[in-house]
Structure 1
Amino acid sequence: MNDRAGTPATEADLIDVPSLIDAYYTLKPDVSIPEQRVVFGTSGHRGSSLNTAFNQDHIAATTQAIVEYRTSQGITGPLFIGSDTHALSGPAQTTALEVLVANGVRVLVDEFDDFVPTPALSHAILKYNAEGNGDQADGIVVTPSHNPPADGGFKYNPPHGGPADSDATSWIANRANELIAGGLHDVKMAEPSAVETYDFRGNYVDDLKHIINLDAIKQSGIRIGADPLGGASVHYWQAIADRYEIDLTVVNPHVDPAWAFMTLDWDGKIRMDPSSPSAMAALVARRDEFDLLTGNDADADRHGIVTPDAGLMNPNHYLAVAIDYLYANRPGWRDDAAVGKTLVSSSVVDRVAESLGRRLWEVPVGFKWFVPGLVDGSVGFGGEESAGASFLRFDGSVWTTDKDGILLCLLAAEILAVTGKTPSVLYRELTERFGDPVYERVDAAASKEQKARLGKLDGDAITATELAGDPIVAKLSHAPGNDAAIGGVKVVTEHAWFAARPSGTEDVYKIYAESFKGPEHLKLVQAEAKQIVDAALGA
């Protein structure tokens, strides 16, 4: 934890926006250098122009690759495109438009030249495809999500509206790197003209009445403070307040590509993470001014919930409350609609699902795994420990197939309006029924070779039989819900578990751990987890 974590940013912490944008256009990547290649992680290609990791050549090549990919898949409908408030997002969207228009793709941009949250773009794709237009739409979101101000990001969402799967992203990334290596000779670019528009905000906001009980929120009179954290949801929150006549104040309406108004995150960096107590410190300080406070990251696919009685809620705690509430208050959902969680989310979710008589659908990290279940209604709710989730409409049909931070913030208001209790009070009631777990993620050093071995490690390679004094009951290298490889291992006992996965960006592996026996037991779990994994890796 950096000594300045949670304190206001100073001039020395801010990026030089003109230099960042200049580097986007002037620095040319060399794809023989790994750090300068197009690489799609779980949420698209990300990097900084200053490091020659996110530059005009990257975006031109990636967009051309997307054009070729959608052609190979027979996708002939419109492509929706939107961007968040990062400084590199605007230039990257312009580059993408130049390529799309030159290739004859029908493109739809925001009608009001507004920022576009990730969930609004997913919503637009699904709405178009549900209307039976005879073709299929897809989309691009230009965002690095909650990453620091110097970063840019570029995501492709195919016709199912959610994050593209690894088959698609691998093909796109490989083709983009080929195009860059070839000097962009096969990339078509033209001045974007006569591009069509779409009212992302109006369509999204008007449709919220089909998934959130906004009448209950209005009638309760609860006072809500919404902080977009300088992100793409900034104008959506005021539109929601006006459209549904709820007592909602946008507590921070400012947009600044340097994010000078932020408090520093745990490592001393500016990062728009609504699940971080350090990044949310300014909002938490105002918790007594409202009945509920909410935060979103830059593309509004993550949520943060602040209550007067508890401050910022742990994302795992809120997911458990949301699940417990939704499955008791959505009679239109299928009786067999499962509870979706990633395998590094809290086991409280498991216990809540069991109490509801619902099947638990546990999948690897990455929201893409929830897409099929949300589309066909077989999964009512899909959530990640990193504060990303979405769920079904009142009638059990799909809402979005990407994470929706705006939706989860509004759900917190509905929960308070309907139950008269904050989500944090309801979580304490859950712990009285199911136990009070302690959860934490830590990092451990690992070489690139060790990370590669961990990503392919089989649970059978772990020889330990006990973890922190309890017998091991499961050693997983594939997710129980869909048998997909988890890219690491998860070890489970009756009272605790840990999961270890390699980092995609640093020479470390991540250890997620949870104990129902308290903080000291958790520390023991973490220490033994490192020993178990290191032994399996031959470290």
Structure 2
Amino acid sequence: MKAIKFGTDGWRGEISRDFTFENVELVAQAIADYFTRSPLPAPRSPQVIVGYDTRFLSREFAQTVSRVLVANDIKVILSNQYCPTPTLSRAIVTKKARAGIMITASHNPYYFNGIKIKGDFGGSVESDVTEEIENLLGKNRPKILSWEECKESKNLEVANFLPDYKKSIKSYIDFRLLRSSKKKWKVLVDSMFGTGNGIIEDLLKETNIKVTTIHSEQNPLFPRINPEPIPKNLKEAARLLKNGDYDLAVITDGDADRIGALRPDGKFITPSLILSLTLLHFLKYRRWRGGVVKTISSSSLIDKITQRYNLKLWETPIGFKHICALMRKEDILIGGEESGGIGYKNYLFERDGILSALLLTEVLCAEKRGILGIIKDIEKEFGRFRYDRIDIHYPEEKKKGLMANLKKNPPSRLIGKRVVEIKKYDGVKLICSDGSWLLLRLSGTEPILRIYAEAGSEKEAERLLGEGKKIAYRT
């Protein structure tokens, strides 16, 4: 069994190997101990919101967390059904709770589960909090009630968080625009057997957007796919688009805090392009201004747009908690990561795949034309950016050696181009003289090496990925 370690977005482990009821009790007790010794942020109430996703035993793990917290005399409001992570975040803010705990492994394979910890602001807590919780693991033996005792306690409330969440979405999206659109848009929605199922469809039912859904049933095995909206998991959606008459496909991951999208021809719209489309929509149609945050793995297209509109740009390590921290301190218009997590001004300090999907439909209605034409105009104005990523299994024992060697002896050229800049603060990013780049970074939650590349053409991006694999296998 591995040591319990929090990564970029919580703790995750294999069910029955690492993620066990015993370990969940240990983590819940450490969280309870952290709450007990930490001052309550004003004007927050001492209650904690607990939610869970559609994975195997997620409800039971959420009940276990609740049983431990209630035994420690902490008030718990537990979701009465599986729910998206942003729904939990909205409940934290609406109910002025001190924190939230979400049982989810997000986009990981079906045999994983995990715990995300949200602060009183609704977003992921920073590393200093999870480090302190890690230090408290095992300090005290878990206090725990039976589920029957817990249900009878005055410290447990069971509630439905979805109505307030949908209300917040309705106040953010321009549904009047969606209803008045002269064109009848056709959108395919894929919720990847996750918590987003039925929500987008319900919100769009009274608009001029016709929705077709796939993978909307609950299935903890996520058959044939991982619940991560990347091209290899979207083959069925891509096939339907190629053979059907759709304007767009939108996809939410397992806990619905990330988005993916496909063009009418079935080709993938990268999250960086989704962010760019939404950013330009905010600037042109909502007349909003503010800074922009992207992660080290995001497209240089975002840099070009911020330069053109004279917007301040921040670049952070991977992990939405870094974006969230900036959104809380600065006037941020939009912030997002390459994996599809995007946060917005005048909303939660949290990413939201459902809101992101609905904003794309708002873009279509505002532009009054198809997504292909909009993308073509963006390329004409800002240039072509072709982005790709591969994940390869990488042994734990080789991880340290790879990064140490790459930082010490980085290549001076990639695919015949001179490397002019090297960033080492989150993995190693090699930037070439023409702006193309290669990033190698180890996953914080899985034994995986992620290799990212961007260039002016698909062929060059593929060649850069090939260089990345060579570097990895040489170690």
TM-score normalised by the chain length of structure 2: 0.88
Moved more, 318-327 or 402-411: 318-327
2:248·2:371 contact (CA, 8 Å) conserved in 1? no
2:105·2:115 contact (CA, 8 Å) conserved in 1? yes
The reply to whether residue 81 of structure 1 matches residue 50 of structure 2 is: yes
Residue in structure 2 matched with residue 451 of structure 1 by the alignment: 399
Q: Give the alignment partner of residue 170 of structure 1, picking from 131, 139, 149.
A: 131
The reply to whether residue 108 of structure 1 matches residue 82 of structure 2 is: no
The reply to whether residue 501 of structure 1 matches residue 441 of structure 2 is: yes
Residue in structure 1 matched with residue 185 of structure 2 by the alignment: 222
Spell out, residue by residue over 1:173-192, the C-alpha distance to the aligned partner (whole angstroms, 9 max, x if none): 3433x25xxxx734333432
Q: Quick one: structure 1 residues 458 and 122, their matched pair in 2 at CA, closer, same or farther if it must change by over 3 Å?
A: farther
Distance (Å, rounded) in 2 between the aligned partners of 1:373 and 1:79: 24
Within-5 A mapping of 1:123-142? 123-129=90-96, 137-142=98-103
Within-5 A mapping of 1:390-469? 390-392=343-345, 397=346, 399-443=347-391, 448=396, 450-453=398-401, 461-462=408-409, 464-469=411-416
The reply to whether residue 66 of structure 1 matches residue 31 of structure 2 is: yes
> What percentage of residue pairs aligned between the two structures are identical?
28
Q: Give the alignment partner of residue 42 of structure 1, picking from 8, 14, 29.
A: 8
Q: Quick one: structure 1 residues 67 and 302, their matched pair in 2 at CA, closer, same or farther if it must change by over 3 Å?
A: same
Q: Counterpart amino acid of 2:27?
A: T
Spell out, residue by residue over 1:278-297, the C-alpha distance to the aligned partner (whole angstroms, 9 max, x if none): 32222333333443332212
Q: Counterpart amino acid of 1:451?
A: K
Task: Please give the secondary structure, in 2, of the residue aligned with 1:286.
Answer: helix
2:15·2:112 contact (CA, 8 Å) conserved in 1? yes
How far does residue 348 in structure 1 lie from its aligned partner after superposition?
A: 1.3
2:192·2:252 contact (CA, 8 Å) conserved in 1? yes
How far does residue 385 in structure 1 lie from its aligned partner after superposition?
A: 1.0
Give unpaired runs (5+ residues) of structure 1: 1-32, 130-135, 265-269, 479-485
How far does residue 91 in structure 1 lie from its aligned partner after superposition?
A: 1.1
Spell out, residue by residue over 1:355-403, the C-alpha distance to the aligned partner (whole angstroms, 9 max, x if none): 22112211110000111332345221111111111211xxxx3x12222
1:201·1:236 contact (CA, 8 Å) conserved in 2? no
1:491·1:497 contact (CA, 8 Å) conserved in 2? yes
Residue in structure 1 matched with residue 237 of structure 2 by the alignment: 283
Residue in structure 2 matched with residue 25 of structure 1 by the alignment: none
Residue in structure 1 matched with residue 282 of structure 2 by the alignment: 326
How far does residue 526 in structure 1 lie from its aligned partner after superposition?
A: 3.7
Task: Please give the secondary structure, in 1, of the residue aligned with 2:108.
Answer: coil
Residue in structure 2 matched with residue 236 of structure 1 by the alignment: 199
Q: Give the alignment partner of residue 274 of structure 1, picking from 211, 229, 236.
A: 229
The reply to whether residue 476 of structure 1 matches residue 431 of structure 2 is: no
- How many residue pairs get aligned? The number is 460
The reply to whether residue 378 of structure 1 matches residue 331 of structure 2 is: yes
How far does residue 80 in structure 1 lie from its aligned partner after superposition?
A: 0.8
Q: Counterpart amino acid of 2:173?
A: I
Q: Quick one: structure 1 residues 321 and 138, their matched pair in 2 at CA, closer, same or farther if it must change by over 3 Å?
A: same
The reply to whether residue 351 of structure 1 matches residue 304 of structure 2 is: yes
How far does residue 116 in structure 1 lie from its aligned partner after superposition?
A: 1.4
Q: Give the alignment partner of residue 119 of structure 1, picking from 80, 83, 86.
A: 86
Spell out, residue by residue over 1:78-113, the C-alpha distance to the aligned partner (whole angstroms, 9 max, x if none): 111111111121110111111111111111123xx2
Moved more, 444-453 or 139-148: 444-453
2:422·2:429 contact (CA, 8 Å) conserved in 1? yes
How far does residue 455 in structure 1 lie from its aligned partner after superposition?
A: 5.3
Residue in structure 1 matched with residue 252 of structure 2 by the alignment: 296
Distance (Å, rounded) in 1 between the aligned partners of 2:55 and 2:304: 39
How far does residue 53 in structure 1 lie from its aligned partner after superposition?
A: 1.2
Distance (Å, rounded) in 1 between the aligned partners of 2:99 and 2:393: 39
Q: Give the alignment partner of residue 56 of structure 1, picking from 21, 46, 62.
A: 21
How far does residue 217 in structure 1 lie from its aligned partner after superposition?
A: 1.0
Residue in structure 1 matched with residue 314 of structure 2 by the alignment: 361
1:122·1:402 contact (CA, 8 Å) conserved in 2? yes
The reply to whether residue 339 of structure 1 matches residue 292 of structure 2 is: yes
Give unpaired runs (5+ residues) of structure 2: none
Spell out, residue by residue over 1:144-183, the C-alpha distance to the aligned partner (whole angstroms, 9 max, x if none): 112222221211112232122222222323433x25xxxx
Distance (Å, rounded) in 2 between the aligned partners of 1:414 and 1:86: 31
Residue in structure 2 matched with residue 481 of structure 1 by the alignment: none
Spell out, residue by residue over 1:9-68, the C-alpha distance to the aligned partner (whole angstroms, 9 max, x if none): xxxxxxxxxxxxxxxxxxxxxxxx42xx32222222222324x21110111111111111
1:318·1:423 contact (CA, 8 Å) conserved in 2? no
Q: Counterpart amino acid of 1:423?
A: I
How far does residue 495 in structure 1 lie from its aligned partner after superposition?
A: 2.6
TM-score normalised by the chain length of structure 1: 0.78
Spell out, residue by residue over 1:259-311, the C-alpha distance to the aligned partner (whole angstroms, 9 max, x if none): 4xx4x3xxxxx3112233x3222233333344333221221011122332444
Task: Please give the secondary structure, in 1, of the residue aligned with 2:55.
Answer: coil
Task: Please give the secondary structure, in 2, of the residue aligned with 1:511.
Answer: strand
Q: Give the alignment partner of residue 273 of structure 2, picking from 301, 317, 324.
A: 317
Spell out, residue by residue over 1:387-437, the C-alpha distance to the aligned partner (whole angstroms, 9 max, x if none): 111211xxxx3x122220001100110000110233343222222222222
Q: Counterpart amino acid of 2:22?
A: D
Spell out, residue by residue over 1:97-152, the C-alpha distance to the aligned partner (whole angstroms, 9 max, x if none): 11111111111123xx22211111112223344xxxxxx52100111112222221
Distance (Å, rounded) in 2 between the aligned partners of 1:248 and 1:77: 43
The reply to whether residue 192 of structure 1 matches residue 150 of structure 2 is: yes
Q: Quick one: structure 1 residues 117 and 306, their matched pair in 2 at CA, closer, same or farther if it must change by over 3 Å?
A: same
